[in-house]
Structure 1
Amino acid sequence: MAIRIDIKELYEIFEATPSEQNIMLVGTHGIGKSRIVEDYFTNKGMKVTALFLCQMSDPGDLIGLPRLNEETGKTDFMPPYWFPTDGEPIVLFLDELNRARPEMLQTVMDLVLNRKLAGRRLPEGSRIISAVNDGEEYQVGELDPALVSRFNIYNLVPTVKDWIKWATSAGLDERVITFIKNKPSMLDSRFDATANSLDKSPDRRAWERVARAIEGVREISTARAKMIAGIVGVKAAAAFMESQKEKSVTGKDVLKSFDKIQAKLEELSIENFPMLNDDILGTLNTLESVAKFTPSMQRNLTSYIKWLQDTNRREAYAYFIKAFLNEAPVRVQNILAKTLPSMLIEFTTFIQEIEA
C-alpha cells in the first residue's frame, strides 16, 4: 500500500528526493496530478514534458525512428520530438503509465533505470515522474514488479483545503469555491460499483469546468443548471443550485457583519467550520496594513469566536484558535493582544488544556 500524502507533503518530497530517483503518484482521476507537477517544476524554472504512453502504439513513437549513420555505417535513432537537445535538464512526466501497452512499458525500463533511451542519455539533473490511476473502477493493466521497483510510490490525496487554496489563486468563480467550503464532501466522488458507467460524478477537474462555465454569469438559468449537471452529475448540481438560493457564509461575511449572518451559522454542520475558519484567516492575511483591521472587524471577530465557545462548538473553536495563533498576521494578533488580552489568555489556556 502506497504512503498517503497531501500536496504540501508532495512538495517537500520533491525537494528532498534526489533527481536520479523516480517518483510515481497514485491517485484517482480529476485530482490534478499533472497540473500539480507541471506548476511546481515550471515555477522552479524547469521544462516539464508530458508523455501519454497509452496513446503510443509502437516503441518508435517513444524512442524515435531508426536511420543509417553514413559515417559509421550503423543504425542509430533520430531523437524524438520531446527529447532535450540543449543539454538542459527536464522533468519527464509519464502520465497514465498503467494504461500503456506492454511493449511501451518495456521501452520505458531502460529510461527509468539508466536515464537512457536508445543509447541517448537525458541531461544531468533531469527527473522522471509518473502518474497512475488505481482502483477497480479503472481499466488499467498490471505493472511489472521490476518496473514498479524503480519508483518511489506515493498515494496523492490532496485535501479540500489544497483545492480551495488553488482555486482561489486561480481566480475561479467564488460561488463554486464557497459551495465547496460549505459542502466539502461534494468536491470528490466516491466510486459506486452499482452506478452506470456513464453516470457523472464530481471531481476537482469537473468543478473547475463548472467555475469557468458560469464565470461572469449572474443568474444561472435552467439550461445552465442542466449544463452543470452534465459536468458534475445530477446530485452535485442539485446541491449547488440549492446553495445559490441563499448566499452561503464566507470569512468576509463574518468579519463584516457577524450579527446579520449569525442565523446562517446556526444552520451549518460542524464539517463546514474548518473551511469557514480558514476563509476568515485567509481574509485576515490579505489585509494590507494594521489600519485595514478596523474596530468593526475586531468586534465581529471577537463575537464569532465567543459564539463558537458559547454554542459549545468545541472542535471548531479549538481549530480556529490554534490556527489563529499560528497563521494569523502578527499585526492582527498584536492588535487583539492589546484590546482583548483576557481573551487571548483564555485562548492559550484552552489550547493547553486540549493538548494535555
Structure 2
Amino acid sequence: MSKNYLTYGLKSSSKEATEFIEHILQTNITAEEEGKRKTPVCIWGRHGIGKTELVGQIASELDYRWTYIAPAQFEEMGDLLGMPKVDGNKTVFVPPSWVPTDEGPGILLIDDVNRADDRILRGIMQLLQNFELVSWRLPKNWQIILTANPDGGDYSVTPMDDAMLTRMMHITMEFDAKVWAKWAEQAKVDPRGINFVLIYPEIAAGELTTPRSLVQFFNSINSIRDLEKELPLVQALAASCLDEETVTAFVTFIQQNLTELIEPEKILNAKSFKKEVTEPIEKIVKKDVLRVDILATLATRMSNYLTINKIAPTKPQIENIQSFIKMDVIPNDIRLSLLQDIMNTDNTRLKMVMSDPEVSMMLLKNM
C-alpha cells in the first residue's frame, strides 16, 4: 500500500481472509464450549475492497445469523449501551434494537469501527473483551467481526491504542484480481469488465477506483452492446465513479478492441478451432511484444467458466480445451496454472482433458 497506510495482520486475498476467519470462528465455538474467552477478528483494508460483503458471504455460507452496526453513525453512548428506564426503585438500561436476542451461531459485524468517535471506541472495548456491556450480553454462540480502514494516509479514522488492538486478531485484505475474477464470474459481472480488471489489475487500487466502484461502472454499461459506438456515454459513466487514469485505461481497452476478446463458451463450442479461436487470438496477442496479459486473462476466464459452471464437456468440447491448452502462443506458466485448476476440480468429466498424451506431458514437465 502507498501513503504510509498502517494495517495489522498478514496481507491476504479475500480467499485467504475467508479461510482465516472461518478457522477463528470454529476455534471460538470450541473455546465457548470449554468456557474459555472468544476472540474477535478485525479485517483491515482499503475502502471498496469488499470487507463487509466478505463477512456477509461467510455468514450466508455457514448459515449464521448476523447483525450489522456502523458505530460511526452513533451519536451518543446510548446508541451502544441502550437507554435507561426506571424499573421499580432502580434504573436499568433497555438494550438497543439491533442487539441480537436469539441464540447463535451468529456474527455481530462492527463495520468501519475506527471511523467511530473515540468515546464510542472506548465503549466497545468491554464488548470485545467479554462479549457483553454493562447493559446487555451477546447470546450464546455469537461472535464479533470488525472491519477497519488503514491508519495513516488520507483516511479520516480514529487510531486504536494497543489496549484495544490486543483484544482482537487481525488480518489485512488486499485485492487479488484472479480471486475477484472468480467472484465476478459467479456474480454475472459484465465479461468485458472482468477482462479489463484481469488485464489492468493495478487500477483497482485507486482513490475512486475500487472493486466496488468498478462493479458499479460495469453494471452501468452492461446494456450497452457496442461500447465504441457509445464511447461518449461510456466515458461519462466511467468518469462518474472512477479515477481519471482508469477512464483513460478503459477507453484504450475499447479502442484496442479488447472488449471483443473471445469468450470461454465460444472457445468451448468452436466448430473450426483454427479459424474461430487460434487466428483471432493470435491477431490480438502477437504485437511487437507478446501480450501475455491477454493470454493470462483468457486462461483465467476459461478456468473460471469451466469450474464455476461445473461444465461436463462433450468429446468435441474436450478436444477444444486441449487445443486451447496446446496453442503455441500460451506461455508454460499460464498453461500449467490452467492444467492445475482442471486437475484440482472434482469434475471427472473435465479431467478427461488429460487423456491427450501431449497435454499430460505438459503438466508433468512443468510440475
Which range, TM-score by smaller chain? 0.7 to 0.9
Contact 2:264-2:301 at 8 Å conserved across structures: yes
Query: In the alignment, what sits opposite 1:266?
Result: 286
Query: In the alignment, what sits opposite 1:116?
Result: 132
| TM-score, length basis structure 2 | 0.82
AA aligned to 2:121 is L
Query: In the alignment, what sits opposite 1:138?
Result: 155
> Counterparts of 2:180 and 2:305 in 1: how far apart (Å)?
17
* Runs of 5+ unmatched residues, structure 1: 190-199
Q: Secondary structure at the match of 1:301?
A: helix
Question: Does 2:161 align with 1:147?
Answer: no
Deviation at 1:88, TM superposition (A): 4.0
> Counterparts of 1:90 and 1:25 in 2: how far apart (Å)?
17
Query: In the alignment, what sits opposite 1:192?
Result: none
Q: Secondary structure at the match of 2:158?
A: coil
How many matched pairs? 332
Contact 1:30-1:203 at 8 Å conserved across structures: yes
Q: Secondary structure at the match of 1:330?
A: coil
Greater CA drift, 244-253 or 55-64: 244-253
Query: In the alignment, what sits opposite 2:102?
Result: 86
Gap change, CA 1:317 and 1:45, over 3 Å in 2: closer
Query: In the alignment, what sits opposite 1:212?
Result: 219
Query: In the alignment, what sits opposite 1:231?
Result: 241
Question: Does 2:88 align with 1:58?
Answer: no
AA aligned to 1:116 is E
> Counterparts of 1:280 and 1:328 in 2: how far apart (Å)?
17
Gap change, CA 1:25 and 1:176, over 3 Å in 2: same
Greater CA drift, 320-329 or 277-286: 320-329
Contact 1:179-1:248 at 8 Å conserved across structures: no
AA aligned to 1:143 is M
Q: Secondary structure at the match of 2:240?
A: helix
Deviation at 1:11, TM superposition (A): 2.3
Contact 1:96-1:133 at 8 Å conserved across structures: yes
AA aligned to 1:177 is I
Query: In the alignment, what sits opposite 1:69?
Result: 87
Query: In the alignment, what sits opposite 1:11?
Result: 18
> Counterparts of 1:237 and 1:271 in 2: how far apart (Å)?
19
Deviation at 1:211, TM superposition (A): 1.8
Contact 1:183-1:272 at 8 Å conserved across structures: no
Gap change, CA 1:328 and 1:216, over 3 Å in 2: farther
Question: Does 2:302 align with 1:280?
Answer: yes
* Runs of 5+ unmatched residues, structure 2: 1-7, 29-37, 271-275
Question: Does 2:228 align with 1:175?
Answer: no
AA aligned to 2:186 is S
Contact 2:262-2:277 at 8 Å conserved across structures: no
AA aligned to 1:264 is I
Give the counterpart of 1:251 among 248, 260, 264.
264
Deviation at 1:316, TM superposition (A): 2.1
Contact 1:274-1:320 at 8 Å conserved across structures: no
Gap change, CA 1:277 and 1:312, over 3 Å in 2: closer
AA aligned to 2:154 is E
| TM-score, length basis structure 1 | 0.85
Query: In the alignment, what sits opposite 1:194?
Result: none
AA aligned to 1:305 is I
Gap change, CA 1:287 and 1:98, over 3 Å in 2: closer
Q: Secondary structure at the match of 1:140?
A: coil
Query: In the alignment, what sits opposite 1:196?
Result: none
Gap change, CA 1:46 and 1:327, over 3 Å in 2: closer
> Counterparts of 2:17 and 2:110 in 1: how far apart (Å)?
17
Gap change, CA 1:168 and 1:156, over 3 Å in 2: same
Q: Secondary structure at the match of 2:119?
A: helix
1:28-53 deviations in whole A, cap 9, x for unaligned? 11101001101210332222222111
> Counterparts of 2:107 and 2:351 in 1: how far apart (Å)?
42
Contact 1:322-1:351 at 8 Å conserved across structures: no
1:117-142 deviations in whole A, cap 9, x for unaligned? 22421101111111111141212121
Greater CA drift, 22-31 or 227-236: 227-236
AA aligned to 1:347 is M
> Counterparts of 1:248 and 1:348 in 2: how far apart (Å)?
26
> Counterparts of 1:287 and 1:93 in 2: how far apart (Å)?
33
AA aligned to 2:9 is A
Gap change, CA 1:243 and 1:304, over 3 Å in 2: same
Q: Give the superposed CA RMSD.
A: 2.3
> Counterparts of 1:328 and 1:306 in 2: how far apart (Å)?
23
Query: In the alignment, what sits opposite 1:157?
Result: 174
Gap change, CA 1:345 and 1:102, over 3 Å in 2: closer
Deviation at 1:298, TM superposition (A): 4.2
